[in-house]
Structure formats: structure tokens, C-alpha cells
Amino acid sequence: MTTTPRVVLVHRRTEYDELLARHGTRGQAAFFLRTRGRSIDEVQARHQETADAIASVGAAIPVDWRRGSVERADLARFLFFPEDVVVVVGQDGLVANVAKYLHGQPVLGIDPARGLNPGVLVRHPVPAAGDLLTDLVRGRAPVEERTMVEATTDDGQCLVALNEVYVGSATHQTARYTLTSGGRSEVQASSGVLVATGTGATGWCGSVWLERHSDLALPAPGDPALAWFVREAWPSPATGTTLTEGRLDGDALTLTVASDRLVVFGDGVETDRLTVSWGQRVDVHRSDRVLRLL
């Protein structure tokens, strides 16, 4: 790196934080949990574990580097700089939450609670943070590029995600559309469509793949291919069920909307979404952007 980097610590409120915000005091929060057969001591212990991890990572940042911090709820309003190093302290999903706001900045995932997270994206223990940051500035830290997925609409809207993009109804209503892939088209009514990267193949799409005992070869995290699944396609005289899964190797999956209102969101964050309606087209394809993960 030719300029002094800024380390941006990304974190999210713990369950203990949310309980205090909701109930006002520790005593009220403890009472609420007791009525549900839980103890606040366990919740507070996990909170302290996360706080200690954030403090330890902060102490490991080289003294001549700049620093920043952002909570998950504020990511959409935070300005990342090109020279930033992003350190995520939390669950795997927090890496996916931040990935869409980055443009090539390296990401270091730190697991504050070893054994509780799968560790797919937060791969490193707290004590490793200092050495990894030092290796990064010296140009010897291994960085893996992970494929991302992108949805674009015919009116210029765009959404990028690390795990998957969902197109469907925001409620449990049926989504209606025409699906086009590989030169074939079909009118469908379903619970929505998922398009996933190799990273997302370990999450929501992986669950769909397992449930239907699919023979589709899921992509690896760094593969450029994407996998797509139609959820609960409904057969009728007007709608078909022959195009319900497949791979995208450089091409796009196109949906032409035949409903009053469908949503497009990524990585399970429905609050950050696109809205499409009758006749609009949504193209889902591999993004030019990648996640650079240490």
C-alpha cells in the first residue's frame, strides 16, 4: 500500500444492546428474559465477549494507521475510502452486509465467539488480527476474491450482493413473471427466485438445494458461475415448472414481471431493496465487483 490505510471496524449491536434499547434497564430486560425461560447472564456474557474482541482488535491496529468504526445499521450512510482496510468483528452474515458497499477494499473477518459461528467468512480468531494487518501492509497477506451477484432493472436500478439475490413477493403472495434462461422461457407462479454465488451456496440456496435433493453442481466461492432456483413453482394451465434450477456461466437470468409489485433484495436484507412492477425486466448476473477476503 502506498498510502497510510484506515482500518474501519464493522460491528453490530449485540442482543444485550437491543434488549437494553427496548426495555430501558438491565433489570427490566432480565425480567423479560425470565418470563421466556432465559437468563440475562448468558446474553450479557456474549455481549462482553464481543466487546472484548472489538477492543482487542482495536489495540492490534498499527499506531500510525487511521481508524474508523461503523455499526451495521449505518453502513448505507458510511463513506468508505479506497485505501480502507475493513475489519468485520461478528458473524459471517456481517461480512455479507458490508460487501455490497465496497469496491475492492480488503476485508478481514474476525470471529469473536469461536464455535458459535460457521466461520465461512469470519475465519480468523481475535489474536490473529495484529499479524494479519501487518502482513497486509507488507503485501504478503493472502487475499481471496469471491464472486458477487448483481441485479439490474430496465429502469436503471442496480443491487449487488455477496450471497444471493431474491426476486419475489415481499409477503407470502405468489410471484408471477416470465423466466428466461439459456434461450428458454417459461411463465411461472412461485414463491420467488434465488440466484446465488458460491458463497451463498452455503446459505439459503444451499438449503433449497438440499431440500429438493438437487443434482445441480453448486459453484465454489471463487467460481464465476452462479446457481439459481425457483422456489415452489406452481403448475397450472397458464404456468409451468420445467425451468426451476440451473447455472449461469457468464449469462444472465431474466425475469419479466407479471405482478403488481415484486421486490429484489440481497443477502436477506429486505429493507434495502428494489421494487419492480408489471412489464419490468430484471436481469440477474455475475457482478464485476468481487469481495477481497483475507
Average pLDDT, stretch 215-241? 94
Average pLDDT, stretch 129-148? 90
Please report, for the chain, the start and end positions of each structural domain, with discontinuous segments joined by +. 6-142, 147-287
- Of residues 64 and 119, more confidence is placed in 64
Percent pLDDT > 70 in the chain is: 98
CATH of 6-142, one of 3.10.180, 3.40.390, 3.40.50, 1.20.120: 3.40.50
**Edge-to-edge order in the sheet of strand 262-266:** 245-248, 226-230, 193-196, 164-168, 262-266, 273-276
Average pLDDT, stretch 221-231? 94
- The phi and psi torsions of 227 (rounded to 5 degrees) equal -120, 145
- Of residues 193 and 221, more confidence is placed in 193
- The phi and psi torsions of 113 (rounded to 5 degrees) equal -140, 80
Helix ranges restricted to H, 138-258: 204-211
* H-run or E-run covering 273: strand 273-276
Q: Residue 138 is placed in which grid cell? A: 507488507
- Quote the pTM value: 0.89
**8 A C-beta contact, residue 179 and residue 185:** yes
What's the pLDDT score for residue 268?
Answer: 85
Query: Do the domains spanning 6-142 and 147-287 agree at the CATH topology level?
Result: no
Q: Is 102 helix (H, G, I), strand (E, B) or coil?
A: coil
Q: What is the pLDDT of residues 51-78, one digit of tens each?
A: 999 999 999 998 889 999 999 999 989 9
- Could you list the beta-strand ranges (E) of 93-155: 106-111, 124-125, 144-153
Give the integer Cα–Cα distance in Å for 85 and 129.
12
Is pLDDT of 210 > 90?
Answer: yes
CATH of 147-287, one of 2.60.200.30, 3.40.50.1820, 2.40.37.10, 1.10.630.10: 2.60.200.30
Residue with cell 430501558: 24
Q: Is 188 helix (H, G, I), strand (E, B) or coil?
A: strand
Give the integer Cα–Cα distance in Å for 235 and 206.
24
Point out which residues pair with 149 in neighbouring strands: 161, 286
Q: Residue 238 is placed in which grid cell? A: 397458464
- The phi and psi torsions of 67 (rounded to 5 degrees) equal -135, 150
